[in-house]
Amino acid sequence: MSDTTAPKAIEGTLGFIDERLGSTTFFRRNVKKVFPDHWSFMLGEIALYSFVILLLTGTFLTLWFQPSMKEVVYDGSYTKLQGVKMSEAYASTLHISFDVRGGLLMRQIHHWAAILFMASILAHMLRVFFTGAYRKPRELNWLIGINMFMIGMLEGLFGYSLPDDLLSGTGLRITQGVLESIPLVGTYGYMFLFGGEFPGQDIIPRLYVLHILLIPGLILGLVTAHMMIMWHQKHTAMPVKNQSEKQVYGYPFYPVFMAKTGAYFLFTFGVTALLGAFAQINPIWLFGPYDPGAISSGSQPDWYMGVLEGALRIMPGWEISAWGHTVSFNVLIPATLPLGIVFGGAMAWPFIEAWITGDKRQHHVNTRPRNAPVRTATGIAAVTFYGLLWLAGANDVLAERFHVSLFATTWFFRVTVILGPIVAFIITKRICLGLQRRDADVIGHGVESGVIMMSPEGGFSERHEAPREEEKIVLLSKENARPEAPARDARGVPAPGAKGPIGHLRSRLSRAWTFDDIPVEEHGHGEHEAIESGSDSQVKH
Amino acid sequence: MSDDNKDTAGGQEPREEDAREGGARRERIVGTPSPAKEKALLAEDDISAPAGVGEQLDEASMKRAERVVATLFLVAFASSVTFIAYFIGWSGRDGGMHGVLRARESNFWLGGTMALSFLALAAGVTIWVRRLMTSKPIVQERHELVSDEESRAAFARDFMEGAEDSGITKRPLLRRTLLLAAAPLGLAPLVLLRDLGPLPEKRLRHTYWGEAVRRAQQEGKKGVRLVVDGTHRPLRVSDFATPGSMITVLPEGVEEHVPEDEVLTQNAKAVTILINVPADQFKPAKGRENWHVNGIVAYSKVCTHVGCPAALYEQTTHHILCPCHQSTFDATDAAKVIFGPAARPLPQLPLSVEDGYIIATSDYHEPVGPSFWERG
Amino acid sequence: MKRITAWRRRPWAGYAVVLAALAAIGVIYAGFSPQSDRAEATSSAQAAQDLKNGQQLFNKNCASCHGQNAEGTKDADGKPIAPSLIGVGAASVDFQVSTGRMPAANPGAQIPRKEPIPPFDTSIKTDYEEHEEREAAEKQKARAEKNLRDLNAFIQSLGGGPEVPPASAVDPEKGDVALGGKLFRTNCAQCHSFTGQGGALTGGKYAPPLSGDDVTPTQMYEAMLTGPQAMPVFNDTTLTPKEKQAIIAYLVQTREEPNPGGNGLGRIGPVSEGLAGWLIGIGLLVLAAMWITAKKPKKLKKS
C-alpha cells in the first residue's frame, strides 16, 4: 500500500507502449472493470479455453499428419494392422498414436477438448437463454454464439473424418448420401465436394484445409467479436443485491477476475489432460481403415451430430418420384428440419420475444427462469426435442443395453419427439407458475419460521417472519406483467400495435405471454391480499 | 382442536411465552423453534463478502493459506519436472515408444503428470484468490450504449455530405455502371470452383458390375464371377450351398483392371451381399424369376437411405438391417423395405451359373445407393 | 561338483550320455505304448459305450423338446417348438451346450448365453488350494468334457453335419490377424461391433458380445460354421478354415490388447465418449466454477 509506483521494468514497458499507442488511458479505464460473479457465467469460458487447447494440440498433430488418400501398406508398430492397405491419412494417424511420444495424448486431448468445446457452448447457450441474457442489447452476441455452434458442428465433423478410419468413413458416406438428396443440385454438390465419386482421392485434403485453416480462422474471428462485444457491453448480472440496470456490482478485473479466469483456464487444461490421460477416445486402431464394404454396429457420430443421426433414424421412408425426378423427404426433412427448428428458432427468438412483449428496453439484469414462464417452457420444450432426437441417435445402443426391440425404440421416439416437447412445455410452465406463487407467498406472507403459535382460543398457527433483505431483493426482481394497453383507446381508435391481422396476433400472443402472471409485490401489512389474488389465478386456470 | 391435543403437545415440548408478540394477542409457542434462525429459504448472496474497505484478513489464516498455495505450486513444479524427466529419461529407452504397451505407458505418465500439474496450479491459484486477495466487490455504472442524438445527427449530416460530394446520388449513370461492373466480379470466384469435380452425368447410374460383365462377355463367357471381399476367391454354387449363408462379394477383376486409386471408389458402388435364402421360403419378384440360383440371391450392400453398408442379415427372419439407421429389408421378397427410413428396396443383381461358379449376368438394373434428384 | 566335472572329461562320457538318453526314451516309450495299444484294441467297444452314454445324456437333457429320435417337435398348431437335430452336426451341439444356450430355459426373443448345466460344465474352476478339492474339480471337469464329447458323437452319428474343429484349427496364435481384421469388419462387425462388443438386432434380438474370455476360440469357429439362431452361416467353403482362424486370431488379440489411451469406456465408440465428456468433463468443470465463484470464507480479523 505504501509503494504506489510500479517496479521499473513494468513502468518502463508501459511507458514505451504508451508513448507510441497512448494505451495507458485504455488500461486505466479497464484495469478495474467489474465482472459480476456467478458459477454459470464461467460455462462460456470453457469453450474459449478449449478452443485454445484445440489450436495448440491441433498444431502439434499437423506436424505428423498426412492429409492424403494415397494407398500405402502399413508397416508401423501396431502389429495387428501390419500388412494392411490403408490411406496415408490413416497410417499417419497410427504413427502419431504409436510412434510419436505424447502423440496419443495430444490426439486424445484434442478430441476431448472438441467434445468439451461443443458441450460448453451448448451449456452456455442454455444459461443465456433461461436467464434472458440474450435480450437487447445482446442479440448480436447471441447470434454470433449460435453461429459458432453450427460452424463448430462442421469443424467437428470434418476433424472426425480426417483419420479416414472405418467410423469416420461411414460418417462421410452418410454426409455424401445427405448431400445427394438435395433437389436439383445434390449430385453436383456431391461431385464437387468429393472431386468425383465417393470416396475418391480429394476429400481428405479438402476437409483438412477447411479443418485447420478456414473454419478455425472463422471461429477465431467470431470468438474475438464475441469477447469484444461482451467487454464493451459489460456482462449481465444475476438479480441479486446491488445489481441494477444502472450499475454493475462485482469483482475488479485486476487482480481478482484475472486470477479467477486464469485458474479456470488451468482447470480446463487440467480436465482435458485428465481425460486425455485416463479415458480413451476415438481408438481408430480398433476401427480399422476405411473400407466401403465394411460397417460396424453402433456406428455413431460424436455427440453434437447425434441430433441429425437421431432424426435420420426415426424418419419414416417418404420419397416422391415424379416426372423423372426424385425427392427424398426421408433424408431431406431430418437433415434440415430439426436443426432448422432449434437453431433457426433460437436465432429468431430474441426478436420474436421483443415483438410479442413490446419490450424495447435494454436489459442488464437477468431474469429468474420462473419469472418468464413462457420463455422457460419454450426452452425446456426445445431441450426435450433436441434431447429426444439425440437419444434416438443412440437407439441401437439403448435397444442392446436394455434388451428392448429396436423397432419399438424407433416408434417410441417417433411419438415422443412430437408429444414430449408439448408435455414438457405444459409441465414447465406449471412449475414456473407454482414457484411464482411461492415467491408471492413469501413476499406477501413471510417465511415460515417453524414456530407454532397457539392462540388464546386454542387455534394453532405458524408464525411467519419477513424474509431477509437479500432474499427479498431476489424475489422482488420479478417484473410483474403490466396491464395491457387497450386494443382501442377511449375514442375507439385502434392502438398502433394492434392493427390488422398481424397486430391482432401480436396482442393475442402478448396476452398468452402474461395472462397467468402472478404478481410478486410488497403490500405492507395487507399480506393476505397477495396470497388471495395468487390463489385466484390458480383457480381460474 | 381439542384440549387433548394441546396437552400431548405440551407434555413433550417446553412451552414458552412469546414476549415479542405483546400483550394484545397472547399466543404461546408450541414445539421446538426451527434452527433456521436466518429465516432463509434460499441460501443466497453476499452474506460473507468482506464487509468494509481496508478490512484486514486474519494474519494467521493467511499464513496457512499461503503455505497451502505454495505447496500446490510445488506439486505442479514437481509433476512438470517429472513430465520432462520421464520424456527425456524413460520414454526413449529401447528405441523409443513403439506399439500399444509403450504407448499406454507413456500416455499414462505424460498425461497424468500434465493433468496433475495443471490441476495443482489451478487449485493453488483458486485458493490464492479465495483466501489471500482482499479485493472487495465494487460498483460501476453501466452506461447507455446508444450514442447521443447530437452525434447521430452530426454523423448523418457528414455521411450525406460525403455522398453528395462524391456525386453518387446525383449521377445515376455512374452508380448503375459501377453496380454492373461489380456483379460479374463477384461471380468470377464461383466460376473458378467449377473444376472441383466432374459433372454427375450418368456416373451414378452404373457400377463396375456392368463393366466386368461386358469384359467377361467379350471373352465369350456368360457373365462375371463373384469373388469374396477380402480373399478374392470366386464362389462356386456348391461352396455357398448351406442355407442361411451370407457373404460380401465383389465382381472379379476389380483389383487387376481398375487403376489402384480407383479401386475403393468402384468397390464403394459395387459391393454386394450374397445370401442363401432357403429355396422354399424365397419369393422371386416378377420378372426376376431367373435372377437367383436356387435361393442364392444378391443385393446391393449400399443402403438406399444414405448409403451405409446394409449388411446385417438375420437368417431366422431373413431381415437385412442397415446398422446405421435401421432400415430393414426382406431378403426373401426382393429386399422390400419392412421398416425404417429407407424408401426403396435394395437393388438386386441378376445371378446365374457358369461352370459351377455363381456369376452375375448384368449390371444392376437401377442406380444403387441413396436417391438423388435425377434418379427418376 | 569337482567329481562330476572330472567324470565329464572321461573319453567314454559322451557315449555314456547318449546311451543313457536312448535308454530313457525306451523306458518312456515302453511305459506309454502298451497303453495306446490297449486303447486301440478296445476302441470299438469303448466307442459304442461312449455313444450309449451320449444317447443317455440326450434322452435325459434334450429329448423332451427335440423328441426321442431328435426329429424335433411341434406344438398343436404345427408350429415348431424345437428343430430336428438330425444333420446339424457335432459343431452345432458343442456350441449350443458348451455356451449354456441348450438346454434352453424358456423361449424368449433369443436364447441367452448362460452357465452350462452341471453335466456339461467344462468351464468350472479347478485352481483350488486344497488338494482334494482340486482333484474333485478336475475330475468333474474331465467328466463334463467326456459327456460333451459323447453327446456330440451321438448327434454326429444321427446324420452327419459339421464336426467340432480340432484344437489346431482354432489356435489364435497361428491366424493371419491382418486378414482376420478385414474379414471381421466386412462380415461380422455389422452385428458384433468393431471390437466384438455386440449390438442390437430386430425384435429384441441381439448379437452377443465376443469380448469376454468365456467365448472360446472353438465356440467362435462353431458359431461361424453353424450359424446359431439369427446368425448367418459361414461354411468352410465360403470362409476357409484358415480364414476363420484369422478372424479368431483378430478377435482374441483385440480383446487381449490393452487400451493404450486409458479406460476403454466400454469400447463402444462415440456414445460413451459423449456421455463421459458431459458427465465427467463438464461435471468437473462446473464443480471448479462453483468453487472459484463460491462466497469467500469469512476470515476477517475481529476489529
Provide ipTM, 2 decimals.
Answer: 0.87
- Grouping H, G, I as helix, E, B as strand and the rest as coil, residue B29 is strand
Instruction: For residue A225, give Cα distances in angstroms to A114, A119, A385.
Output: 21, 21, 30
User: Counting beta carbons within 10 angstroms of the beta carbon of residue C182, is it exposed (0 to 12), middle (13 to 18) or buried (19 or more)?
Assistant: buried
Question: Same structural domain for residues A237 and A129?
Answer: yes
Domain boundaries, chain B: 1-34, 59-132, 206-375
Q: Is the dihedral of CA C40, C43, C45, C49 positive or negative?
A: positive
Question: Same structural domain for residues A107 and A14?
Answer: no
B138/A32 touch (CB, cutoff 8 Å), yes or no: yes
Partner-chain residue, chosen from B59, B244, B321, that has the shortest CB–CB distance to C233 = B244
Q: What is the nearest CA distance from C69 to chain B, expressed in angstroms?
A: 23
Instruction: For residue A492, give Cα distances in angstroms to A482, A485, A507.
Output: 21, 13, 17
Tens digit of pLDDT at every position of chain B (376 positions): 333 443 333 333 334 444 344 444 455 555 555 544 444 444 334 444 444 434 556 788 888 999 999 999 999 999 999 999 999 988 888 888 888 999 999 999 999 999 999 999 999 999 999 888 876 788 888 888 888 899 999 999 999 999 888 888 888 899 899 999 988 888 888 888 888 989 888 888 889 999 999 999 999 999 999 999 988 999 999 999 888 999 999 999 888 888 888 889 999 999 999 999 988 888 888 888 889 988 899 999 999 999 999 989 998 889 999 989 989 999 998 899 999 899 999 999 999 999 999 999 999 999 999 999 888 7
Biggest distance spanned by C-alpha atoms of chain C? 107
> Does A178 lie at the interface with C, CB-CB under 8 angstroms?
no
- Report the pLDDT value the prediction gives residue A453, as an integer from 0 to 100: 80
Q: Show the cell assigned to C250.
A: 483378430
pLDDT tens, residue by residue, C103-126: 887 767 788 888 888 888 887 777
Instruction: For residue A144, give Cα distances in angstroms to A122, A130, A304, A363, B152.
Output: 13, 18, 18, 19, 26
Question: Same structural domain for residues A266 and A230?
Answer: yes
> Pairing relation of β-strands A460-465 and A447-454?
antiparallel
Separation between Cα atoms, residue A346 and residue A142, nearest integer Å: 9
Mean pLDDT of the residues in chain C:
82
> Is C66 annotated as belonging to a binding site?
yes
Question: Same structural domain for residues A47 and A87?
Answer: yes
How many CB atoms are closer than 10 A to CB B336?
Answer: 15
The yes or no reply on domain C46-164 and CATH 2.40.128 is no
B206-375: CATH topology: Rieske Iron-sulfur Protein (2.102.10)
> Does A405 lie at the interface with C, CB-CB under 8 angstroms?
yes
Regarding predicted confidence, which is higher, B371 or C76? B371
Residue B271's nearest CA partner among B226, B214, B327 is B226
Q: Tell me the DSSP string of B102-170.
A: HHHHHHHHHHHHHHHHHHHHHHHHHHIIIII--PPPEEEEPPP-SPPHHHHHHHHHHHHHHHHHHTTTT
- Grouping H, G, I as helix, E, B as strand and the rest as coil, residue A56 is helix
CB B119 within 8 A of CB A267: yes
User: Counting beta carbons within 10 angstroms of the beta carbon of residue A221, is it exposed (0 to 12), middle (13 to 18) or buried (19 or more)?
Assistant: exposed
Separation between Cα atoms, residue A40 and residue B13, nearest integer Å: 45
How many CB atoms are closer than 10 A to CB A10?
Answer: 10
Separation between Cα atoms, residue A200 and residue A69, nearest integer Å: 8
- Report the pLDDT value the prediction gives residue C156, as an integer from 0 to 100: 85
Q: What is the nearest CA distance from B243 to chain A, expressed in angstroms?
A: 23
Q: What is the nearest CA distance from A412 to chain C, expressed in angstroms?
A: 14
HEC profile of A212-254: HHHHHHHHHHHHHHHHHHHHHHCCCECCCCCCCCCEEEEEEHH
Does some domain include residue A333? no
Residue C88 has pLDDT above 90, yes or no: no
CB C104 within 8 A of CB C87: no
User: Counting beta carbons within 10 angstroms of the beta carbon of residue B294, is it exposed (0 to 12), middle (13 to 18) or buried (19 or more)?
Assistant: middle
What is the pTM for the complete model shown?
A: 0.86
Instruction: For residue A79, give Cα distances in angstroms to A512, B92, B101.
Output: 66, 20, 11
Residue C204 has pLDDT above 80, yes or no: yes
Question: Same structural domain for residues A83 and A23?
Answer: no
pLDDT tens, residue by residue, A119-171: 999 999 999 999 999 998 999 999 999 999 999 999 999 999 999 999 999 99
CA C250 to chain CA centroid, Å, is 15
Which residues of chain C lie closer than 8 angstroms to A277, CB-CB? 262
Does some domain include residue A434? no
- Report the pLDDT value the prediction gives residue C8, as an integer from 0 to 100: 63
Separation between Cα atoms, residue A241 and residue C243, nearest integer Å: 74
Regarding predicted confidence, which is higher, C268 or B346? B346
Q: Show the cell assigned to A164.
A: 479416414
Question: Same structural domain for residues A13 and A67?
Answer: no
pLDDT tens, residue by residue, C148-179: 888 888 888 887 788 888 888 888 888 899 99
> Is C294 annotated as belonging to a binding site?
no
- Report the pLDDT value the prediction gives residue C6, as an integer from 0 to 100: 63
Tens digit of pLDDT at every position of chain A (541 positions): 445 677 888 888 888 998 999 888 888 888 888 888 899 999 999 999 999 999 999 999 999 999 999 999 999 899 999 999 999 999 999 999 999 999 999 999 999 999 999 999 999 999 999 999 999 899 999 999 999 999 999 999 999 999 999 999 999 999 999 999 999 898 999 999 999 888 888 999 999 999 999 999 999 999 999 999 999 888 998 888 888 888 888 888 888 899 999 999 999 999 999 999 999 999 999 999 999 889 988 888 899 999 999 999 999 888 888 888 888 889 999 999 999 999 999 999 999 999 888 888 889 999 999 988 999 999 999 999 999 999 998 888 888 888 888 888 999 999 999 999 999 999 999 999 999 988 888 888 888 777 788 888 888 888 788 888 888 888 888 888 776 666 666 676 666 666 778 888 888 888 888 888 888 877 654 444 444 443 333 333 3
Q: Is the dihedral of CA A499, A504, A510, A515 positive or negative?
A: positive
User: Counting beta carbons within 10 angstroms of the beta carbon of residue B292, is it exposed (0 to 12), middle (13 to 18) or buried (19 or more)?
Assistant: buried
A303/C274 touch (CB, cutoff 8 Å), yes or no: yes
Element (H, E) at A468: none
The top-level CATH class assigned to C165-259 is: mainly alpha
What does chain C come to in residues? 303
Separation between Cα atoms, residue A187 and residue C274, nearest integer Å: 33
B87 phi/psi in degrees, rounded to 5: -60, -50
> Does C182 lie at the interface with B, CB-CB under 8 angstroms?
yes
- Report the pLDDT value the prediction gives residue C10, as an integer from 0 to 100: 65
Separation between Cα atoms, residue A270 and residue B183, nearest integer Å: 52
Does some domain include residue A113? yes
Separation between Cα atoms, residue B98 and residue A101, nearest integer Å: 9
- Report the pLDDT value the prediction gives residue C123, as an integer from 0 to 100: 77
Residue with cell 428343430: C83
**How many separate domains does chain A show?**
2
> Does A282 lie at the interface with C, CB-CB under 8 angstroms?
yes
State which residues form the domain around A263: 33-295
> Is C62 annotated as belonging to a binding site?
yes
* Best residue of A282, A291, A438 to probe chain B, by most B CBs closer than 10 Å: A291
> Is C182 annotated as belonging to a binding site?
no
Nearest CA in chain C to B240: C238
DSSP B21: T
DSSP B293: B
Does some domain include residue A18? yes
Strands (E), chain C: 73-74, 80-82, 199-200, 206-207
CA B249 to chain CA centroid, Å, is 30
C269/A300 touch (CB, cutoff 8 Å), yes or no: yes
DSSP C233: B
Where residue A57 sits, what CATH number does that domain have? 1.20.810.10
- Report the pLDDT value the prediction gives residue B302, as an integer from 0 to 100: 93
Question: Same structural domain for residues A9 and A98?
Answer: no
B106/A362 touch (CB, cutoff 8 Å), yes or no: no
A321/B110 touch (CB, cutoff 8 Å), yes or no: no
CB C233 within 8 A of CB B242: yes
Which residues of chain A lie closer than 8 angstroms to C197, CB-CB? 298
Element (H, E) at A83: none
Residue type at B51? A
Residue C36 has pLDDT above 80, yes or no: no
Partner-chain residue, chosen from A40, A260, A396, that has the shortest CB–CB distance to C199 = A396
Please list the helix, strand and coil fractions of chain C in percent, rounded to the nearest 5, in that order.
60, 5, 35
- Report the pLDDT value the prediction gives residue C31, as an integer from 0 to 100: 52
> Is C146 annotated as belonging to a binding site?
no
Which residues of chain A lie closer than 8 angstroms to B312, CB-CB? 297
* Best residue of B102, B313, B326 to probe chain C, by most C CBs closer than 10 Å: B313
Residue with cell 424495447: A360
* Chains in contact with chain A (at least 3 beta-carbon pairs closer than 8 A): B, C
Q: What is the nearest CA distance from B195 to chain C, expressed in angstroms?
A: 34
B45/A78 touch (CB, cutoff 8 Å), yes or no: no
Separation between Cα atoms, residue A98 and residue B104, nearest integer Å: 9
Q: What is the nearest CA distance from C232 to chain B, expressed in angstroms?
A: 5
Q: What is the nearest CA distance from A482 to chain B, expressed in angstroms?
A: 24
